Each structure stands twice: as structure tokens, then as C-alpha cells.
Structure 1
Amino acid sequence: MERGIPHGKTWLGIAALTLFSSAFFWRCANIGAPQGGPKDTIPPKVMGATPAFNTTNFTGTRIYITFDEYVQLKDQQKEFFTSPQLKKTPTLLVKGRGVQIDILDTLKPNTTYALNFGSSVCDNNEGNPLNGFRYVFSTGPEIDSMFMSGYTVDAYKKDSVKKTLIFFYDAADSAFLREPFLRLADPFRPDSLPAFDSTVFNVKPDAIARAENNGIFIAQNLKPIDYRVYAIEDTNGNLAYEPGVDKIGFLDGVFNPSDLPDFMAWYDTTRRYMTAEPQLFIRMFTDRQFKRQNLAEQKRPLQHKIELYFNAPYPQIDSLVLDGIDSSRIITEYVTPGRDTINLWLDVPGEELPDTITGRITYLKHDSLNQLVPNTDKLKLFWKYIETKEEERAREKEEKERERAEREGETYTPPEKPNPFKYNLSARGEINPEDNVTISFDYPLVEMDSSRISLVRFGEGEDMYRVRYELRRDSVDIRKWMLSAQWIPEQKYQLVIPDSVFLDVAGQRNDSIKADFSILSPDKFGTLTVNVKGQTDSSRYILQLLNDKNSVLQEKRDAVTGKYIFRYVNPGDVKLRVIDDVNGNGQWDTGDLILRKQPERVEIYIPESGNEMIAMKANWDIEITVDMADLFKPVDIMDIREQLRKQELLRAQRLIEERIKKAQQQQQQQNTQRSRNASGAFNPTGAFNTGNRMF
């Protein structure tokens, strides 16, 4: 029952349809259900309002909307909002078979207002929501009647961002603001900026819309004027942008609904809300430059470990002093890419470490004027060993055994305690030679005698061959080491690490380690070859192979024109994500709202079939060519619409397949139950009939 609705410039026809969309489409074929029948799935139906819908020259403060049944309000703080935004949110009260709205603010003259209820109005019995319900009025003689549609998407993941707020600003009244504004978390930028945009912080939007779960929004009751458009994730539901918390997106230039191409809108009977072809495309990102820098927390969870948490990425630390501890015995580990979480490992014998370590750290912190200035915080870090319940029980048991032995005149031998040295070795079973062998430790290592480590390969019969290997520390994780060699597929290997090869900062040494494993055969995997055709000779890209859950399986950085091979790809569906690495730093760079800098573009390679998923099979070689000039060509809204259309067809196909599978499972369960009933029918005598005998 999905129907297309042609779009005219004024959209007068669809206004009423959107207003009553849920009631109309769900009432058209269902009058009601008799008592004891199927579960009620019909949302409330609007019967009328006082003042009437689309009232002009509105002067009142109270509105009452009636429904055909008793209703309730759910999540109104999250779902309800006004457009334009009012300083004081109207109060909503359920009275009888209706909802009373009291306006607490003074309304602006000659302004069209929309009260957007979202899905907050539900029937009282089953909680069926009346999705997309709105009440519109004007304090002037006319109702603004223009429409605009769009699509909000995560700039990196390329997934739709649901329930975003779309802010529309009159371009004539909201030129870029140039007064001094906070420039956060980046000490390397100049203090004087040429021009920047702080509109969303200092100006209330002239109109607000909200995207649905599929990222599509339909903004209604707009004027035929130029707008500047922003999208806000609004994680906390406060109708305001919280930098560093909410995603944000903005469009370059201005947009007038009367100048945009027509679009089709329809009621999605599966999702149960209005959707449309987008006219605008907004890429959303988290602007990391907005977090205020300060030392948020200091902890000492282990005797040899200190954790420092900063509120913003890339803290600039001038000095760090721990009283009584030589700075050369402090090992620094950056836990997060932005270095806002730092572990300090103390390469000091445990008996020399006090319960409380004091010190000080000097770093750049934002002051009350949002300027980065030197600041010194005192450090006070306490740690004391606390027994676990299991350790307490074991100690009490040991004490009882010792006392018993002493009473009976026996020599007591305490049980051997487990080695506290902890590690995780990936060399188990079959391993992928692309991954090599990894060893992760709980503590950083301070000594290693790698000459004692042995790696052998088993040949025919009892033949054994020593294998040359390389053991190196991971470039990011200082507690992770990688062992690589010239692996031979389908061959068996044995890794032997004698005791005391490793020594960590806590003074702990390893017990002997032995691992047997084999190398997987390439015949069990697929190979994907990507021929890259760059936009220019200097263009750099990041190629990421993703699974169907959007997890990165393999990555090729600093890709230029040439051939790149993804080997040992597990059978299944994968897709190729490409990042246009403009600055060539090997990572995706987010946007900057203040400087109006868009994030680096990310695109998914889509074959001619239109399905972004590439089916990998065992022992298959697939080769594709990616023309970056075509992949990163200027965004065309018609291309976006076509991509969404194909995605929707695939979604519908998957939905049909899931329903068929579910129906088959239900049928199978029914057949199984009938079979059981036939073979063991209940007998009135209290026994089960299984043929001629009674049991």
C-alpha cells in the first residue's frame, strides 16, 4: 500500500495527508475488531481541534485536539517539539478523549507555528502511536506552505542517522557570525581566525524538522526564501547542539524550497511513517574541536598502573612529575587515537612503590575565556591490594591446613600459587597467515630474550625444520607483539617459549609456553583484487574491506593508482569502503563546524548490479576496478535517490525473505506438533495411546 504522491511547489494537498497520514492509511481498510478478536494495531484517529487546524490570525493560548478514543502521551519530552522553537515548551495534558496544549510564550506576529507530536500520542489500550502528527496555525493571515526533503547520513559509516533535528535559518538574517568564539582543544591553531560560523550556538532556528529512522526528513510549512541548513543529532533530546556529544552536519550555500526539484513522498506501510525522495544530502560528523580541555580523572587501578583521562583529544603536556619515581622508569601508553586516555606504567619494584603516589602535571587547559593556558594539577594516587572473595576463601583454607599440620606434627607445604603473569596467544588451531601470531600482555614488557624462542615446522614423517621469524612490537599497542614468518599453507608449526623469556614492569616472568598450530589453506578463502585509478598522481586513499556488520576486516592505507590485493577473505558478503585521504595522513579526518570544513569524503563502492555487497566464495578470485574520479564525483541528488531506491528494493527483498523463512519455520513447527500429536494422542483413561498398548 505504498503510494507515490506528486509534489507541487506549494504542496497544499500533501499537508493534510501528512497531518492525518497514520489515521488515514490505517483506517482505510480497518473499521474495528470485535471483542476477543485480533490485537488492536490501529492508532487513534483525529476527530477535530479547537481552534481548527491551519487557523490563521491565531491569538489564543490554549488548543484542544479530540480523538476517537482515549489516548495517552508517551516520551513527550523526547518526541514533542515546536517549529519555530519556543523559549518555554508548551504544556501537554490529556483530558477526556483529547489533548490540551497550553502555550506559555508570547508568539511572534505573522509567523507559522507547527506543534510536532512525533509518535507521542498513542491509544490508551495498546499504545499504538499516531506517527507524524502535527498541529499547525499562524499568527498572521497566511500559512507558510513550502516543503523541503532531505537525507542525513553518517559521514564515515555511510549509515543513515535517525531522528536528527534539521535547523533552518533565514539566510538574510543569519549571516556567519564573526564575533570571538571558543576555539577548543587544538593549541596549534592561530588565535585569530578569519571568519567562522557560530550560528547554531547564538541563533534560534526559524524552522525545525525531524528525520525519521531511515534518515529521511520532510520539512513542512517553510517560506519561499533562502535558508541555511544544519542537522543536529540531539542525543540528549534538549533541542540544542552539544559539541563533542552530538553529531552535526551543515550544507554549503543556501537553499530555497521554491527553487529545488520536485520530489515524491509516500506513506511507508512497513515503517509506518511518511518518507520521501530527498532534495538535500547532509553528511554528519562529530566535531572533536569543541571539547574543553582539562584533566577529567586520575586513577591507579593497579600497583604499577596510573590512568589519566582528559576531556578533549591531543592534550599538550609540558611536564609530568611523580615524587620519588625516576621519569625514565615511567612507560607511557596512549590508549585512544586522540591520546585523551593515557596509561602510565611504573617500571619500579613493587616493594619500592608507596600506597599513595603524589606528583603534578602541567598541561594546556581552557580557562574561563576558552583560551588554552598552562595549568598545573596535583596528582594523588592511592592503591592498596584488596583480596577477592575467592582469594580470601583460599587463604582461610590454607591457614586451617597449616594449623592442622602443626597440631599433628606434620610438615606443612603450602600449595603452589598460580603465576600472575598473564598473556593471550593467538597461535591456536588454524591461523590466517595474513594475521600472523600475536601475543598480548597485561603489562608492558621491560625485558625479552627472544633468542630462546623456538619456532619449528613439521615436515614429512618426523622431519622438523627450524623457522626464521621476526618478533616486533605493535606500532600502536605497546603491550601487543607480532610474530611473523614465511608461512607455508597447510603446514603444522610449534612455537616454544621457555620460562622467564619475558619480564614485565611488575617484575613478573612467564612460565613456559608451547603452542601447536597450522596455517590455513588459501583454498578456503577468497581473494579480492582492487585496481585503483586515482583522480591525480598525488591523490591518496584508504581502502577498507568491511563485513556485513560494517566491521573492518582489512585495510590498505596510502593507496594510489595501482593494484591492491585483499587475501584470505572469509566466504560471505563484504563491501569496499574508500576514504579520500586529502591530507595523506592515513586516517579519516572529521569536519569543523566553526571553520565550515566538511569531513573527508567516504564512499562505498557499488558494482553495476546496484548491490554494495560483494559475494566472496572459497577459492574464488574477484577483481574490480575503482575509478576514483567517478566514485568521488560531485554529489548529485539524483544519484543519491537512485542509491536509496536500490537500497529500499534490497531491504524489501530481505524483508520478504525473512517473512518466508519465518513462515516456513512456523509451518515446520506446526507439522512437528501434528506429528507428535498423531504418534502420542491423549487417551481419556489417563494413558497415552501409542498403538495397541497402554502405558
Structure 2
Amino acid sequence: MRTSDKDKRRGFVPLLGRAALAVFFCTAFLWRCATIMTPTGGPKDTLPPVITLMTPDNFTTNFKDRKIYIEFDEFVQIKDQQKEFFTSPQMKKKPTITLRGRGISVQLRDTLRENTTYALNFGSAICDNNEGNPLYSMRYVFSTGPEIDSMVLSGYTVDAYKADSVSKSFIYFYIADSVPEPKEYDSTLFNYKPQVIARAETNGIFLAQNLKPVPYRVYAFQDTNDNQMYEPSIDKVGFLDSLINPALMPDFSVWYDSLRHYVTADPQVFMRMFTDVAFKRQTLQQSERPARHKAMLYFGAAHPEVTGLRFDSIPAEWVIWDPQTVGRDTVALWFDVPSASLPDTIKGEITYFKHDTVNRLQEVTEPLKLAWRYIESKSEEKEREKLERERKRAEAAGEEWEEPEKPNPFKVNLSTTGDVNPLDNLKLEFDYPLRKLDSAAVQLTYTTEQQPEPRPAEVRFERDTANMRVWRLKSDWQLGGKYELLVPPGAFENIANEQNDSLRGTYTVADPEKFATIRLHVEGKAPDAKYVVQLLNGSNGLLQERRDVTTGDLRFDYVPAGEIRLRVIEDLNGNGRWDSGNLVERRQPERAEMYVNADGESTFATKENWEVELDIDMNELFAPITMESLIEQLEQQEMQRLSKYLDEQQQNRKNRKDDQQGQSSSGMGFGGAMGGLGSMGGSGGMGGALGGFGNSF
């Protein structure tokens, strides 16, 4: 029996071996039924229903019945049955569950397999009728043979990129000999039914019961649509690389979480979940021309291989190819041609690799016909009619009438006031690609406290690598400097022959003392190993990112005060981004880990003018995942969660105390205090915790 100080802190129920779990479950259930009673009168009922009868008995062998009756000590209701209830293994015809008296009647409609252990998992679907208190994790188990399969496996499901636990995932177990060995492609999850199904709790931990002592292939997916069917591109999925025999796995501890009302365990296996992209046939699905100088191509799958693009009336060098998505499946075509030279219909052809009827890529050439017609908007129509009325009134009065100048259609998005972060510079986003950018015409001047007279500043423009319509104005920004920007008319010209009006802006360089600085000392696993380091805020929002990180020092400047975290990606292929996995090809995602220091802290506080130094050893961060290391990691997370919970409880008590003192000072103290005592009495105390314990089985 394995015990430790950690076990005592967390209220562990330590176990040796898997067979002891059945004793643990039954004992807990009997304890619950024998010691906990529904309170009569007094505070609000917070206890779940108590099972008083099961017919046939739970864990019945040689089961031949078609109906199961479960009775409780009070009237119950069934909530979210579609989401909560499932059977292991699956049944083609789902059981029918109806209310009957103080219990539920389960009608089995499917033909049961011989010598098979079945489990009816109710989740939190059974609730008391009055207050809706759920009976968590109720299971009814029976076998059509002489034995109940008794092996157990514990595991942990985690988002491979965010490093957050994935809650309520289904875990499918396939006996290895019952399905073909996936050599080139893995279709197991699509074509076969699992022999055993488990479900993770909200903390990502699962406890798969009623397994056989044989090797299994194990898969997990998050059932977004509550249909117990894996859907690529919608559900997160994960799989184990090797076969798992629960009889050969190390022992583990099981305990009851009285705060979250479920049984949990030390994980024996670890599953990294990712969103797989469903296979899509490559084809040019649609083409359109939403503007005179712009066309759009929409492909059916990512990364189309285009080998040729030709138009009858436009030279190839005047056509700009501009992917709009990361997968490059949506492409904008910009025509750098004078408007008068563009016909209403542009004809041409595109050559690319397209999937044929048997999903083989074949090079094909297809015609393109891109028609554009100016459609007057409602506002433009009203403005035109208004001007026409004004013109007619002027003519009737014998007055000269001149049509007012139309607004300049040139558009640019530029903040004209505010602080300049020297890391971001000034961002300009245009609605069309630029044909001309006259940086020499752009004037940027600055003043400082020491130099009150305006001085010219160097101006440099740099186009964004991800969006050709975005440019950044760079300069050697002076600390404490106040800048004025003047862009004269005509400095910018886009491919639609439109030019800018005069632009002005005033800016102040952000004071670095109002920000924090993060210094990292990185030790790579190898001299040529590359990583992506992401600086996140306390809510995991991306603040800054560094790519191609190797052994050495790294610095993040202008970090806003507050909480920060660090995510590190092991960039195995050196493409500067995290790569997801692929289920069919059995390719695991790249590892992404949240940095944790030696004290188990993953969130760090920063303040203005602070400098934080951290050491990151990639050998430790990306060390092989073992059961021991995973338990230690989850222990740290649990301690942080409990610490946060206790802090919140302490703050709530302080707030209640302040409220009571405030009520007392206004002549209402006695009632407020008595109300607080009443709430404390309704918490259930030890009885509430024990009640949840027994009802988990």
C-alpha cells in the first residue's frame, strides 16, 4: 500500500492493485447508504438522492434480464440524458430510461453479447426532484458471463497546445486482436466499435473500469456534439502510440475529490489532445470578383499546388497572388492595372493539382471567368437622388450648380494619437496593396524636454510578412520623445490608382519604466535545437513571441504589468510554429509545455519597472513524460488550485464580515448574523462530503 505526506494532504484512498477497486467502490456505496440520511426541515437540501434498491443487484453475473430498476430515498428527475448517459460497450439500440415511483426503470432494447461486461454510466443525469442535486457518477454494472471484468486503467487527457486539461472526453478501448494493426493509415476510430468506453472528469483524469487483462489500443476524443461519434475538425482527439495492457501497468492511488464530487486517480497514461483536420478533396470550389481590382479563389483543401495562372487581357506580372489564410486555401488576386484597362469580365485559366474520383492528385487546367458589375448601394442611391434634386432646383431658379467633390475612396487605418511601443512601431493597414510608397515625402519630427525644438527623425517603412496590405513605420524612437507625423497627399498610391489625402498624427513614446522586462536564460537540448517561446498574460493571451530560439539569452521588453506565463514549443521541423498531429497518419503533435519553475510556479507577477529573470532548461521542460513526473505535475497544479480556492474562500469570508459589520452599523446586524449562521448550517459539512463519496459509484 503506497502512502505519503502527499496522500494525507489530499485525502487519498491509497490502493494496491486493480482488484481492490471493486471492494473500494462497494464499500463506499454501502457506507453512503448506511450513514447518510436526507435532512428533514431546516436549511435547504444540498444532498443528492440515496440509492436504496437495485434490481437485479449491481455487479450481477450471468445477466439475462431486460429491465433494471433503481430506487432512491426520494423522487428524482433525469437531466441531460443525451449528454450524460452512455453505455460501455455501445448498444445499437440505446436503453430507454423512464421514471417510476421513487426510482428509474431501464429497458434494455439491444441484443446483449455473450460473456461481456456491461456498464451503464449515468454521469450526473440523476437529480433529486426538488432541488436538482445530482447523484454524481452512478454506474450499474453487469455481465452476461460468469465474471465481471475487473481491470482498471487511469489516465490524463490534456490539450497538446494549451496544456490545459480536456474535460469530459470519451476514451475508447479496442482489444488489439479485434482490430487490424494500423500500419500506414489508422482508421480504427472510424470503422470499429470499442469494447470498453470510459469518460474523463472535468479535470481531465479518467478511470477506465471493467477492462480485461489484455493489450488494448486506446483513443480519446472530446465529443463536442454529444453524439459519441468522433468528428474530425470538430472534436479534439488523442491516441496512445503503443498497446496498453492494464494488468501490466504500475499500481496507482485513487481518492475522492469532495469539492468537485468525483473519484479521481494518479494517471498511468497521458494523452495529448489535438484538433485533427478532416480529409478534404482538393478542388477549386468557387471564384468571384467582389471589386474591380480584386478577385477571390476558394479551394476545398489547404495548401493548393498551383502551377499556372493566365488571363487573356492581363500580363502575369500585373497579377498579385495574396493568400488570405494560414492554409492558403483562400486567395485574393489583385490586378495592378489602370481601372480603364480592366474589362468587366476577365477570362483566363488556372492549372493546379486536383483530386480525382479515387482521391488521387492530378494536374488539371480549368477556365476562369471573373465578372464584375458595379452595384450602387442604398446610401449611394440616396445621395445621387439628393444631388439630382438639388441640381434641378438650381436649374429651375436659373442658378449655376456644381456637383460637390466626391469623398476620396482611398482608405488607410492609422491611429493618429497615442503611445508608440518601439517594438510595434506605427501600423498602417490599407484596403488595397500599394503601388507607390514615397517614404522620402513622409515627415516625422520629435521634441524632448532637453530638445524643445522639433528635429527630423528617420523614417523607414517595412511591409508585414503575413499581410501585404499592412506596413509599419519604423524609426529610432527616442525615450520621452513627442512625435508629429505628416504624410502629404499622394505619398501613397494603391493599385486602384487611388491616392491618400493629407495625414497627420501626434504620438508619445511609451515609457519603458511603466513596463516590465523579462530575461530568459535558455539551455537547449542540443546546439541546433530550435524552440518557439511565447510570452502570455495571466489569461493565456499572447503578448509577444520569439521564434528560432536556441541556447542563449532572450529578452522581452515592454511587458505590461500583471501576471505572465511562458509557453515553449519544441519546434522539431523549424517552421516557427506549433504543428498539430494527425490521427490517420498516427503522427503526434509537437510538444508545447508551460514553463514551471523549481517551486512549481507557472504564473509570475510583474510590476512597472521590474525585471524578471528565469532559467529554462529544455532538457527538463521536454523530458520524457513518466507516471512519476505526471503525478508531480498534477500535484503542483492541484496545490495551486487549492491555494487559489482557499484564497477565494478567505476573501469571501472577509467580504461577508464586512457586509455584516456594515449592516450592524445601520441597525440590521442581528438579522444579518443569523442569516450567516443559517447558511453555514446548510453547507452539509462532513455529511455532505461523505454523501458525495458514496454516490460516485
**TM over 0.5, shorter chain:** yes
Contact residue 13 and residue 256 of structure 2 kept, 8 A = no
In the alignment, is residue 243 of structure 1 matched against residue 232 of structure 2?
A: yes
Deviation at 1:599, TM superposition (A): 1.7
CA 1:246–1:502 in structure 2 vs 1: closer, same or farther (change >3 Å)? same
Are the aligned partners of 2:415 and 2:505 in contact in 1 as well (CA < 8 Å)?
no
Query: What letter corresponds to residue 457 of structure 2 in structure 1?
Result: V
Give the conservation status (yes or no) of the 8 Å contact 1:526–1:620: yes
Task: Tell me by how many angstroms 1:89 deviates.
Answer: 2.7
2:186 is aligned to: 197
1:94-493 mapped onto 2 (5 Å cutoff)? 94-178=99-183, 195-288=184-277, 290-321=279-310, 324-350=313-339, 360-375=349-364, 384-386=373-375, 390-391=379-380, 393-414=382-403, 416-426=405-415, 428-459=417-448, 460=450, 462-493=452-483
CA distance in 2, matches of 1:674, 1:413: 76
8 Å CA contact retained: 2:38, 2:47: no
Counterpart of 1:187? Answer: none
From the two aligned structures, give the one with the greater helix fraction.
2
* 1:473-492 CA distance string (max 9 Å, x none): 11111111112222211111
Give the drift of 1:122.
3.1
Q: In the alignment, which residue of structure 2 is the partner of 1:501?
A: 491
Q: Does the CA contact (< 8 Å) of 1:176 and 1:198 recur in 2?
A: no
The corresponding residue for 2:594 is 604
How far apart, CA to CA, are the structure 2 residues paired with 1:270 and 1:51? 32
> Pairwise mapping of residues 545-556 of structure 1 onto structure 2 (< 5 A)?
545-556=535-546
**Structure 2 counterpart of 1:32:** 39
Q: Which moved more, 1:434-443 or 1:96-105?
A: 96-105
* Alpha-carbon distance between aligned partners in 2 of 1:335 and 1:352, rounded to the nearest angstrom: 26
Q: Which moved more, 1:376-385 or 1:596-605?
A: 376-385
Q: Are 2:442 and 2:459, in contact at CA under 8 Å, matched by a contact in 1?
A: no
Q: Does 1:6 align with 2:14?
A: yes
Go from structure 1 to structure 2 and tell me whether the alpha carbon gap of 1:504 and 1:251 turns closer, same or farther (over 3 Å shift).
Answer: same
Query: Are the structure 2 counterparts of residues 357 and 625 from structure 1 closer, same or farther at C-alpha, using a change threshold of 3 Å?
Result: same
Residue 516 (structure 1) shift: 0.9
Secondary structure, aligned partner of 2:177: coil
Aligned twin of 1:64: 69
* CA-atom RMSD in angstroms: 3.0
Instruction: Look up the match of 1:623.
Output: 613
Question: Displacement of 1:675 after TM fit?
Answer: 6.8
Q: Could you give the per-residue CA deviations for residues 447-491 of structure 1, whole angstroms, max 9, x where no partner exists?
A: 222221111121446422211232111111111111222221111
Q: Percent identity?
A: 49
Checking the alignment, whether the CA contact within 8 Å between 1:427 and 1:438 is kept in structure 2 is no
Q: 2:82 aligns to what? A: 77
Aligned match for 1:633, one of 606, 623, 626: 623
Task: Report if aligned partners of 1:289, 1:592 keep a CA contact under 8 Å in 2.
Answer: no
Partner Cα distance (1:563, 1:624) in 2: 10
Aligned pair count? 657
For residues 30-80 of structure 1, the C-alpha deviation after alignment (integer angstroms, 9 at most, x for no partner) is 72363xx65544333333233222121112333333333443333322322
Deviates more, 1:51-60 or 1:70-79: 70-79
Partner residue of 2:693?
Answer: none
* Residue type at the aligned position of 2:508: S
- Is contact 2:439-2:459 (8 Å) kept? no
Q: Once the two structures are superposed, what CA deviation does each residue of 1:214-234 show, in whole Å capped at 9, x if it has no partner? A: 211111111122222111123
Q: Tell me which residue corresponds to 1:190.
A: none
Distance 1:89 1:340, change over 3 A: farther
Q: Secondary structure at the match of 1:651?
A: helix
Q: Which residue of 2 aligns with 1:686?
A: none
Partner of 1:15: 25
Distance 2:399 2:322 in 1: 50
In the other structure, the counterpart of 1:691 is: none
2:279 is aligned with what amino acid?
A: F
Shift in Å at residue 102 of structure 1? 2.9
Partner AA of 2:92 in structure 1: K
2:502 equivalent in structure 1:
512
More moved, 419-428 vs 569-578: 419-428
Q: Normalization by structure 2: what TM-score?
A: 0.86
Output the amino acid matched with 1:6.
Answer: P
1:107 deviates by 1.6
Structure 1 distance, partners of 2:436, 2:314, is 20
Separation in 2, partners of 1:391, 1:145: 75
Q: Which stretch shifts more, 197-206 or 291-300? A: 291-300
The answer to whether the aligner puts 1:55 opposite 2:60 as a matched pair is yes
Distance 1:70 1:322, change over 3 A: farther
Whole-angstrom distance in 1 between the partners of 2:654 and 2:525: 50
Identify unmatched segments of 5+ residues in structure 1.
179-194, 679-695
Q: Say if 1:344 and 1:44 are closer, same or farther in 2 by CA, change over 3 A.
A: farther
Aligned residue number for residue 692 of structure 1: none
